[in-house]
């Protein structure tokens, strides 16, 4: 874990006050920069020491075989792995012929800062070489939100004490050696030397490399150019070879003199475009960046984020560390998707190679709800990517003998990449998750063009899957069998409640959309009979209930599964999937991550308050949170049923999942969905926001340690800000026409003329539930 003392607590930055070599892999993920198009891990400029190199391009992957001991019909034959492409971050420094390497000599000062307002990573080092020469090195790195193909680094060297000879080597390097592989299915499959050189060239201060991936045959071009400011007699030269391009700057610095190098980096990649086309693309991107210059790149970066924070910032008074973590989380969520534009949002963003760079249901269920209300264009783009892969999902459904679409459990390009079908293919709920993300986006945006185009097509195709996958039983109930819900410790079950409720909503929303747009529905061959069949299935969907315990089983028969003996499980045997066979997990009452509790949140209209409280208590006692997705959902529902202090602890867990490395795998990249869950825990948990009704509803309440919560939302062309204090909530319509919302069950109307203040009712008094032994969330109040 990363101790609380590692980072200074500041409202708008994450600052590491000294270098922690043993935490390099983790801080490389935390300090990663991205715009959703390009991702640069926060490696040291000189490249060594490092935890894991990482330069990632969204959608650039290699194909690898999926071996099976016993193959079966329908098993995916190939996987996809996001690979580390040509590294343009490298800037090596020689001081009087001594390599600048922090493992040698003396580090007098080392500080790195992720600036959440400026969107840059800053670094300042004072170092004395083994020969006794001191230098000060400053660097600032950015991945541009405005010029999406461009990253840039400003690098400065000055002597401390006497004059010094310095050489700066700025490089492009392909096929860097990958880190050692780990016996952990959450980590990426490292591929060695996946890039084949096709072109290299250099001239003046510019160099270019073009490669293609061996199996996927994707092509990538990387280029760099430089702006150099130094004393007279500064000399430069350039060179290139298949996997390396280098620009060298050499000078002698007197005390008070500074060598400044601005490195501009550009990337382009495609599965179809030719080598000359990609080469010319990166040349053009560099020309534009060079004309713009460092100052303008930095200014427009800040300007872009000023606009983001104006609408997206969440303010928490009473817990400065949590405030910092909230903004860190939002920054990573926004930068993961800002300029993805037609590509997916991987589970780790572009911060590390964990999960092979795959996209899961996390995107629609955790990340897109945040983007829908703070960056709706990014949410639209992500849904547009799903729609762009609909032909592959249709082909997969046909392969499975189903109608409609079967979207993949894990993928990069759109093909199913899960080699374990009980947790992958059988998790059909991802199709309803996608449909619900479409529903949410359409409701929040009023985007009629998207609804009649990709939106309706996605809704219709997913509805057809459910009508095909389920069946009407003799008793009239619509049953969906043999599926895996969100809880991956309970696989291949009948009538998973979350899946069934989400499928029913999918069917209803598809029917309503088809009726709103009959012409477009007709073009998709949707008949009135088919619409009626969707509605009938939705009304008859089976929702199991245990009348003896008066709780909702996660799936049919779940409350009759064998109890799990939590008392005997030592702490080092979590996560359970690493130490217990799936058979034991699948047949026992042990929950990996919120499943039924997730249904209480996203399908809350189907449960009354007392049922939610009983169900939450039941599942709290058997949920071990071996998934980083769980804490945010438990925070939301804990807050709703009145366990505000427990919700506060869960908010802390999801907020600090990476800043404290609570899951011990931040080295592989940040947990993007969990970071998005920080927003959900605050806005849906303590803000009580729900969006499954006709309009937005709020039921805010605060834990004792939070004196004030404030958050913004974009909704139907309006900009809202909600401020919650212990005894009241204030709703302010900052822009747009008046809007009706619901506050604690009462309809109220907002207008731009004046804010509306409403009193908060007291929370219900309930006895806090008990999590499994050793699995309670960290107590947040100890730090607050």
Q: Across 567-717, where does the E strand assignment appear? A: 588-589, 697-698, 708-715
Q: 16, 451, 488, 556: which one is catalytic? A: 488
Quick check: 635 pLDDT over 90? yes
- pLDDT band for position 179 (50/70/90)? low
| pLDDT per residue as tens digits for the range 656-683 | 999 999 999 999 999 999 999 999 999 9
Q: Name the residue among 484, 480, 478 with its Cα closest to residue 425.
A: 484
Predicted pLDDT at 639: 98
Tens of pLDDT, residue by residue over 454-494, are: 999 999 999 999 999 999 999 999 999 999 999 999 999 99
Sheet with 38-40, strands from edge to edge, namely: 33-34, 38-40, 55-57
Count helices and strands (H / E) in the chain: 19, 32
Structure confidence by residue, pLDDT tens digits, 516-547: 999 999 999 999 999 999 999 999 999 999 99
d(CA 654, CA 650): 6
Please tell me whether residue 197 adopts helix, strand or coil conformation: strand
Model confidence at 781, in pLDDT bands (50, 70, 90)? confident
Task: Label residue 188 by pLDDT band (50, 70, 90).
Answer: very low
Find the Cα–Cα–Cα–Cα dihedral 397, 402, 404, 408, rounded to 10°. Answer: -30
Q: Is the pLDDT of residue 181 over 60?
A: no
Say if CB 435 and CB 371 are below 8 A apart: no
| Residue pLDDT, tens place only, 266-321 | 999 999 999 999 999 999 999 999 999 999 999 999 999 999 999 999 999 999 99
- What is the reported pLDDT for 414? 97
Two tokens, residue 311: 């609408």
> pLDDT category, 180, cuts 50, 70, 90?
low
Does residue 186 surpass a pLDDT of 70? no
The neighbouring-strand residues paired with 411 are 359
Yes or no: say if 732 and 718 are a contact pair by the CB < 8 Å rule: no
**Four-residue CA torsion sign, 270, 276, 280, 283:** positive
pLDDT of res. 187: 43
The reported pLDDT for the residue numbered 710 is 98
Give the total residue count for the chain.
Answer: 784
What are the residues facing 722 on neighbouring strands? 711, 731
Q: Report the candidate in 438, 465, 462 with the shortest Cα–Cα distance to residue 450.
A: 438
- At residue 69, the pLDDT reads 84
Could you report the per-residue pLDDT of 360-393, keeping only the tens digit for each?
999 999 999 999 999 999 999 999 999 999 999 9
CB 30 within 8 A of CB 670: yes
CA distances from 369 to 422, 593, 714, 720 (A): 27, 19, 12, 16
pLDDT of residue 192: 78
Neighbour tally for 401: CB within 10 Å:
10
| Nearest-angstrom CA–CA distance, 169 and 171 | 6
Distances from the Cα of 337 to the Cα of 39, 145, 594, 638, 725, angstroms: 11, 10, 25, 29, 32
For the ranges 34-38, 62-66, 427-431, 638-642, which has the lowest average pLDDT? 62-66
Query: Hey, what are 273's tokens?
Result: 């475009």
The answer, yes or no, to whether residue 196 has pLDDT greater than 50, is yes
C-alpha span between 269 and 286 (Å, rounded): 15
488 tagged catalytic: yes
Q: What is the pLDDT of residues 712-758, one digit of tens each?
A: 999 999 999 999 999 999 999 999 999 999 999 999 999 999 999 99
Q: CB count, 10 Å around CB of 69? A: 4
């Amino acid at each position: 874990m990363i101790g609380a003392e590692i980072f200074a607590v500041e409202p708008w930055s994450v600052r590491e006050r000294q270098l922690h070599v043993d935490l390099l892999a983790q801080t490389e993920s935390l300090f990663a920069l991205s715009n959703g198009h390009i991702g640069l891990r926060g490696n040291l400029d000189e490249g060594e020491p490092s935890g894991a190199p990482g330069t990632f391009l969204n959608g650039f992957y290699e194909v690898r075989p999926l071996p099976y001991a016993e193959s079966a019909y329908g098993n995916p034959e190939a996987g996809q792995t996001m690979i580390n492409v040509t590294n343009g971050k490298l800037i090596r420094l020689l001081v009087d012929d001594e390599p600048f390497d922090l493992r040698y000599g003396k580090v007098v000062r080392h500080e790195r800062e992720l600036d959440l307002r400026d969107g840059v990573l800053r670094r300042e080092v004072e170092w004395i070489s083994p020969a006794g020469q001191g230098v000060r090195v400053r660097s600032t790195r950015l991945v541009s939100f405005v010029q999406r193909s461009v990253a840039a680094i400003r690098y400065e060297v000055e002597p401390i004490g006497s004059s010094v000879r310095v050489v700066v080597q700025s490089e492009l390097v392909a096929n860097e050696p990958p880190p050692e592989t780990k016996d952990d299915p959450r980590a990426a499959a490292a591929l060695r030397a996946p890039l084949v050189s096709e072109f290299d060239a250099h001239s003046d201060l510019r160099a270019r490399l073009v490669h293609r991936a061996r199996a996927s045959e994707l092509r990538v071009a990387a280029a760099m150019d430089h702006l150099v400011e130094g004393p007279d007699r500064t000399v430069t030269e350039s060179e290139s070879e298949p996997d390396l391009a280098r620009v060298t700057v050499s000078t002698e610095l007197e005390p008070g003199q500074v060598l400044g190098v601005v490195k501009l980096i550009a990337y382009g990649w495609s599965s179809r475009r030719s080598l000359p086309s990609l080469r010319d693309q990166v040349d053009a991107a560099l020309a534009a960046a060079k004309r713009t210059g460092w100052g303008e790149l930095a200014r427009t970066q800040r300007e872009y984020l000023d606009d983001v924070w104006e609408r997206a910032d969440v303010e928490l008074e009473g817990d400065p560390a949590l405030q910092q973590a909230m903004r860190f989380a939002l920054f990573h969520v926004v930068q993961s998707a800002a300029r993805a534009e037609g590509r997916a949002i991987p589970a780790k963003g572009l911060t590390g190679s964990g999960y092979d760079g795959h996209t899961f249901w996390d995107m629609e269920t955790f990340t897109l709800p945040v983007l829908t209300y703070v960056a709706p264009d990014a949410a639209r783009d992500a849904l547009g990517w799903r729609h762009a892969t609909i032909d592959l999902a249709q082909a997969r459904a046909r392969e499975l003998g189903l109608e409609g679409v079967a979207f993949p459990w894990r993928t990069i390009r759109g093909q199913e990449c899960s080699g374990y079908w009980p947790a992958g293919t059988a998790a059909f709920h991802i199709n309803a998750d996608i449909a619900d993300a479409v529903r949410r986006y359409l409701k929040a945006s009023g985007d009629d063009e998207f609804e009649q185009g990709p939106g309706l097509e996605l809704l219709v195709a997913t509805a057809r899957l459910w009508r095909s996958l389920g069946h009407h039983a003799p008793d009239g109930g619509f049953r969906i069998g043999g599926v895996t819900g969100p809880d991956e410790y309970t696989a291949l079950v009948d009538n998973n409640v979350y899946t069934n409720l989400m499928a029913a909503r999918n069917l209803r929303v598809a029917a309503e959309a088809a009726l709103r747009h009959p012409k477009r529905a007709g073009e998709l061959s949707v008949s009135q009979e088919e619409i009626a069949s969707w509605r009938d299935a939705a009304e008859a969907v089976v929702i199991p209930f245990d009348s003896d315990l008066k709780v909702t089983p996660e799936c049919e028969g779940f409350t009759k599964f064998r109890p799990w003996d939590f008392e005997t499980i030592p702490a080092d045997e979590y996560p359970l999937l690493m130490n217990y066979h799936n058979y034991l997990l699948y047949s026992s009452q042990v929950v990996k991550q919120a499943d039924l509790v997730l249904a209480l949140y996203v399908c809350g209209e189907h449960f009354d308050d007392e049922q939610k409280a009983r169900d939450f208590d039941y599942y709290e006692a058997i949920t071990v949170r071996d998934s980083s997705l769980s804490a945010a959902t438990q925070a939301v529902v804990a807050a709703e049923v009145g366990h505000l202090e427990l919700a506060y602890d869960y908010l802390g867990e999801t907020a600090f999942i990476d800043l404290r490395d609570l899951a011990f795998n931040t080295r592989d990249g940040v947990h993007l969905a969990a970071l998005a869950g920080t927003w959900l825990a605050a806005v849906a948990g303590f803000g009580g926001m729900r969006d499954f009704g006709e309009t937005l509803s709020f039921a805010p309440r605060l834990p004792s340690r939070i004196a004030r919560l404030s958050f913004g939302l974009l909704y139907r062309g309006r900009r809202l800000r909600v401020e919650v204090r212990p005894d009241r909530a204030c709703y302010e319509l900052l822009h747009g026409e008046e809007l009706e919302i619901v506050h604690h069950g009462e309809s109220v109307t907002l207008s731009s003329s004046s804010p509306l203040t409403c009193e908060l009712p007291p929370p219900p008094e309930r006895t806090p539930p008990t999590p499994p032994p050793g699995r309670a969330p960290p107590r947040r109040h100890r730090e607050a």
